Structure 1
């Protein structure tokens, strides 16, 4: 049996005496209930009802299975109720760190739905591209881009893959066109992410993609890069997930020589068994998790 809802339809037809009456009471189509009852009988290998002009009557097999089905339905209802009670009982404060661009473009709907399920959990959000120190308690949970953590005291999982793309506003693309190759980038005004501090290996690769003589703007945050690109000031390299979420942005058909971006959610080992921390990590993972690398398109 593939669908536990079939038991609910079995009980509804037994109670109301026909698929039509059960459909009206349940506010679903009669054909749906008929199809699911047939599927349940096929899965069980037993006829549950005798179809008569006056309605549906339980067979001997159906009558024998009815109390078991009722018990299963009661257990499912109890399971749902206990799960909801446990969700409501999860309480505390969780400090979540994430890159500013992830906080702005990925997390808002996730956080809204999490808060609806866990109203007693308070979230403190830290928007930073810096790797916070989880061991010292700068944050309880962190979203990080890059490869898997190598620190054995950190626990987490990869959420998704992404690629960087050359992005432009639709207005800019309509007016100036999009580059078709890396060589074409020198013919466009470029916006390059320029954070404080020594550049990482990934940033050095990104810088190498953008001819210095064509760079006209150097914002120090990725959110500022998004705003400048959206404003039509030039082309910028942005994560694909940002461009896909912005109706005003498009990307050029160029495959950049940059590694695939990985997004991880992690916590310190000593915090992994905290109920609110575990609830947040599981919820974010279930919401964001993507199992396949993106295409080069």
Structure 2
């Protein structure tokens, strides 16, 4: 009879394949059981401003893994994952360069400069970078200059024109809303805040 014949290696494969397939199925079943049995403390660190945004995701995580207990540490301090103090870190800024870390971009945070209606009524708005230092600014402190937009803007503002600084985004947003000066707000927050005006800074500088 003409056709193909199995080699010795092929005969071994045919004989062993059913057993290998069964072992893979058994292993898959065991791994699935392990995943469903995940338990213990999961320590997450993030910025204060991000904490409320995590609750829906945390609720979904606990629905899938009810034996998990979540410990959330909201802080401006960057806690090294290598220290073991936390398991997951959610931060704003450039991707970390440490090859031992697994980093994923979750979302983009769009920011721009805003001023309260009361500030605009008293001082107007800058129409070009040349007019920036004719205005009062509320700025994030130096430890936030790792964020590209914050860094670029800080280069253009004389220190004498910075009337208020904080290391918290929430403080800056509150200062802008109060009319203290021009400052950065996330577009999402600004869109839901009455009485603030956007400065078209994207057309003025390399944002």
TM-score past 0.5 threshold: yes
Summarize the Cα distance change of 1:233–1:241 in structure 2 as closer, same or farther, 3 Å threshold: same
Bigger mean CA offset, 174-183 vs 93-102: 174-183
1:206 equivalent to 2:114? Answer: no
Query: What is the CA distance between 1:141 and its match in structure 2?
Result: 0.3
For residue 194 of structure 1, the aligned residue among 141, 159, 182 is 141
1:247 equivalent to 2:159? Answer: no
CA contact (8 A) 1:167 1:237 kept: yes
Tell me, in whole angstroms, the C-alpha distance in 1 between the residues paired with 2:116 and 2:67.
40
| Mapping 1:242-281, distance limit 5 Å | 242-244=189-191, 246-248=192-194, 249-255=196-202, 257=205
Deviation track 1:218-238 (CA, whole Å, cap 9, x = no partner) reads: 123222212212323221123
1:159 equivalent to 2:159? Answer: no
1:134 equivalent to 2:77? Answer: no
Point out where structure 2 has 5 or more consecutive residues left out of the alignment: 1-31
CA contact (8 A) 2:93 2:146 kept: no
Query: What is the CA distance between 1:183 and its match in structure 2?
Result: 3.2
Query: What is the CA distance between 1:119 and its match in structure 2?
Result: 4.1
SS at match of 2:171: helix
Deviation track 1:49-88 (CA, whole Å, cap 9, x = no partner) reads: xxxxxxxxxxxxxxxxxxxxxxxxxxxxxxxxxx9x9997
Deviation track 1:125-184 (CA, whole Å, cap 9, x = no partner) reads: 122233211011121001122333221211131112234310234554566554443334
Q: CA RMSD in A?
A: 3.5
Query: What is the CA distance between 1:200 and its match in structure 2?
Result: 4.5
1:102 counterpart residue number:
50
Tell me, in whole angstroms, the C-alpha distance in 2 between the residues paired with 1:88 and 1:171.
55
1:237 counterpart residue number:
184
CA contact (8 A) 1:164 1:258 kept: no
Point out where structure 1 has 5 or more consecutive residues left out of the alignment: 1-82, 260-297
CA contact (8 A) 1:195 1:219 kept: no
Tell me, in whole angstroms, the C-alpha distance in 2 between the residues paired with 1:116 and 1:95.
17
Summarize the Cα distance change of 1:90–1:185 in structure 2 as closer, same or farther, 3 Å threshold: same
Summarize the Cα distance change of 1:210–1:140 in structure 2 as closer, same or farther, 3 Å threshold: same
2:162 counterpart residue number:
215
Query: What is the CA distance between 1:99 and its match in structure 2?
Result: 2.0
2:40 counterpart residue number:
92
1:224 equivalent to 2:171? Answer: yes
Tell me, in whole angstroms, the C-alpha distance in 2 between the residues paired with 1:180 and 1:110.
41
CA contact (8 A) 2:129 2:205 kept: no
Summarize the Cα distance change of 1:195–1:213 in structure 2 as closer, same or farther, 3 Å threshold: closer
Tell me, in whole angstroms, the C-alpha distance in 2 between the residues paired with 1:247 and 1:226.
10
